[in-house]
Amino acid sequence: MSLTPSDVDFYGDELYSALVDLRTVPNLRDRVPGIDLTDAYRIQSRMVQRRVDAGEAIVGKKVGVTSAAVMNMLGVYEPDFGQLLSGMVYRNGDAIKLDSLIQPRAEGEIAFVLKHDLVGPGVTAIDVLRATDYVVPCFEIVDSRIDNWDIKIVDTVADNASCGVYVLGTEPKDPLEVDLALVGMTIEVRRPGESVGEIFATGAGAAVKGSPVNSMVWLANTLGALGIPFRAGEVILTGSLTVMAWVKGPQTITCEFGGLGSCTVTFV
Residue 195 pLDDT:
84
Contact 84, 235 (CB under 8 A): yes
The strand pairing partners of 139, in sequence order, are 108, 167
Kindly indicate the confidence band of residue 69, based on its pLDDT and cuts at 50, 70 and 90: low
pTM: 0.94
> Taking a C-beta distance cutoff of 8 angstroms, is the pair 9, 46 a contact?
yes
Angle at which helices 5-21 and 37-53 pack, to 10 degrees? 60
Beta strands 95-96 and 184-190 are unpaired
Partnered with residue 105 across adjacent β-strands are 142, 246
Compute the distance between CA of residue 105 and CA of residue 198 in angstroms, rounded to an integer. Answer: 16
What value does the mean pLDDT of the chain take? 94
Q: How far is CA 187 from the centre of its chain?
A: 17
Go through the domains of the chain in sequence order and give each one's CATH number.
Answer: 57-267 (3.90.850.10)
Residue 227 makes CB contacts below 8 A (sequence gap 6+) with none
Residue 202 · residue 214 · CB < 8 Å: no
Q: Is the pLDDT of residue 76 over 80?
A: no
pLDDT tens, 159-176? Answer: 999 999 999 999 999 999
pLDDT class for 74, splitting at 50, 70, 90?
A: low
As a whole number, mean pLDDT of residues 245-262 equals 94
